[in-house]
Chain A
Amino acid sequence: MDLKKDYMKYESYLLEDFLADEFFIQWVKCPEDDNSHFWEKWLKEHPQKSSIILEASQLIRVFQYAPVPEISDSAYTQLFIDIVRADNQIENDPEKKPKWKWLFSFRQVAIFVLVFVVGWILYLEVIKKNQPLESSQASVELVSKEVPKGMKTSLTLEDGSKVFLNSGAKLTFSPTFSDSVRNIYLEGEAFFDVNHENRPFRVHTPEAVIEVLGTTFNVNSSQIGLSVALLTGKVKVNDPFGNRMILNPMEMLTISNNGKYLKEDFDSLEIAGWKDKYLVFKKSNMIQVTSKLESWYGVEINVTGKFLDSWAYSGIYFNESLENVLEGISQTSGIRYSIEGKVVHIFRK
């Protein structure tokens, strides 16, 4: 081992070099005699590096898998039994080995599932008799609705709440809600008109959970962060760290990609007009304009030439064709354009 060379090498290491160093990670993950000996000695001789070392080791430990459902103790035990039993079976009939093995394990699993389901139903019948059976449907299979670029759609949920989905959005929900909570999962942008009920209505996004009883609000969860704009009623936004923010009507909360939280008022037409087919630009720069057009019409836009940083466009269109919108922009804002099928070219005039 080139310990001497490593000794030198580590002196110039930055935080991310340590974070990417196998030997260092090994020491953090499973300290053993040899690596501990090395690093303890190295640290003693490089005390100025101790804060970086500390941060690197903390960061390495912070990463975890997002939780996945665990198998129950009994399923786990059953798995063990099935595995051990399978080889007895194979020894008994060497003839039909492979098929038998598969069928056998499959049958066992099926029986186990059956037992479990029967038990579960009995449990519901006997213990939870006075509760509606609906609670067993909390774990019912989820359905997803995904909107292609260039399209918008709306749907009515089982509780009568209405959801408008903007292009590119994906909504996942259970066809029947549980009797205690209405959970849905959103990626992208959606406008909600939630029926007032005692069951809370929760919108789960990667950034936060938005909880309401009955309100109208717009949620946009995208690469650059989350924004929640409330039109009527009241919503709670819970982030994964336990922070909770409450929004009042006409307030918008933005959690942006640099980790900043911002509460401000908003223009409801600009934020939620899309559901009524209003395409709104408000002092939008070229990137905002093109990305909005791309998702609204499902096209690809190529911009040629440089536009000034001060270039901005404002305008409102109701249910217009792409060509009419581009024509409108071109008349006031010094652009030329051409449309070839699904591709749009924009040039400086």
Chain B
Amino acid sequence: MNNKTQNSFLNQSRPFALKESVQIIDSKSESEIWREFDLGDEKAFNYLFRVYTPLLMRYGCQLTHDQGLVKDCIQNLFIRLRKMRGKLEKVAKVKSYLYKSLQRDIFKQIHKSSNEISLENENLFLIELSFESRLIDYETDSQHREQLNVALKFLTERQRQALLLLYVEGFSYKEVAELMELKDAKYARKLVYRALGILRSSFKSKSGS
């Protein structure tokens, strides 16, 4: 039994039932949960970890292809936040706060090993169209689907990023601008309008009519 270390790790693979804590806390606002986390409530931390780790992982993997790096950065972010409990600043928008912090950490790490950047920069923020959910119109119309898919290829990475942040993450223009290091929400709106201009020809109801 000399692999005691290994066993102790494996045995603890399920320290708590999945998803339970998420239910309990759902009714509270996020800034309340943040405050409780600050006060040392483990249930609140559990909630933040469960809800945001998969999201942070997904977002982080848009910034670099190095999944291990993203995981390390998420780990260190939560460790740091836990260390700062009791003196955390008030946060109104927990999601964009966490995204911003993680993005900053990842960029810092990438800069450290900057010889890999040239490979890193490709194929980030890729969009996939999912026609599965009740989208009757586009689902039956494969021509529009294809057109839309082709049009997507003409978007720049920043345009794709802006659309994803707006439509998938549900961020406001202000939050999008902050994450994308734009001076003002109106530049985020401009970016989105430009992307929509490229996609316009593949929409069903063409504008101007």
Chain A residues close to B by CB (< 8 Å): 14-16, 19-20, 22, 25-26, 29-30, 51-52, 54-55, 58-71, 73-84, 86-87, 90, 101-102, 105-106, 109, 111-112, 115, 118, 144, 206-207, 223, 225, 239-241, 243, 255-259
Contact = CB atoms under 8 A, between A and B. Distances in A.
Interface of A is mostly: helix
Contact of A90 (B15, B49, B83, B148): B83
A206 B151 CA distance: 12
27 contacts: A15-B200, A55-B203, A55-B204, A61-B133, A62-B131, A62-B135, A68-B61, A69-B67, A78-B13, A79-B74, A82-B75, A83-B49, A83-B75, A83-B78, A90-B83, A105-B72, A105-B76, A111-B5, A118-B6, A207-B150, A241-B145, A257-B150, A257-B151, A257-B154, A259-B143, A259-B147, A259-B149
A64 B168 contact: yes
Nearest to B82: A87
Contact of A259 (B128, B150, B164, B172): B150
A83 B58 CA distance: 19
B74 A66 contact: no
B189 A20 contact: yes
Given A22-B173, A105-B75, A111 B9 contact: yes
B164 A16 contact: no
Interface string B126-143: 111111010101100011
Contact of A26 (B5, B170, B192, B196): B170
B154 A223 contact: yes
A20 B196 contact: yes
A65 B126 contact: yes
Q: In the A-B complex, list the 5 residue pairs whose CB atoms are closest, starting with the nearest.
A: A66-B126, A259-B146, A68-B61, A259-B147, A14-B207
A55 B204 CA distance: 8
Contacts of A239: 146
A66 B128 contact: yes
Contacts of A60: 167
A79 to B, nearest CB: 6
Given A20-B192, A241-B145, A63 B79 contact: no
A204 to B, nearest CB: 12
Contacts of B15: 77, 80-81
Nearest to A222: B153
B167 A51 contact: no
Nearest to B191: A20
B33 interface: no
A87 B149 CA distance: 47
B209 to A, nearest CB: 9
Contacts of A255: 150
Question: Interface extent on B, as a size class?
Answer: 35 or more
Interface of B is mostly: helix
B10 interface: yes
B202 interface: yes
Given A83-B75, A83-B78, A58 B135 contact: yes
Contacts of A59: 138, 203
Contacts of B6: 111, 115, 118
Nearest to A97: B83
B94 interface: no
Contacts of B164: 63, 65
Given A51-B205, A71-B71, A115-B9, A65 B128 contact: yes
A78 B61 contact: no
Contacts of B10: 115
A106 B79 CA distance: 13
B137 A62 contact: no
Interface in B9-65: 9-10, 12-15, 49, 53-54, 57-58, 61-62
A66 B127 contact: yes
Given A20-B192, A115-B10, A79 B75 contact: yes
B110 interface: no
B167 A29 contact: yes
B166 interface: yes
A147 B57 CA distance: 32
A258 B147 CA distance: 6
B9 A112 contact: yes
A63 B129 CA distance: 5
Contacts of A76: 53
B128 A67 contact: yes
B196 A68 contact: no
A90 B204 CA distance: 58
A254 B15 CA distance: 54
A62, A80, A207, A255 interface centre (most CB from chain B within 10 Å): A62
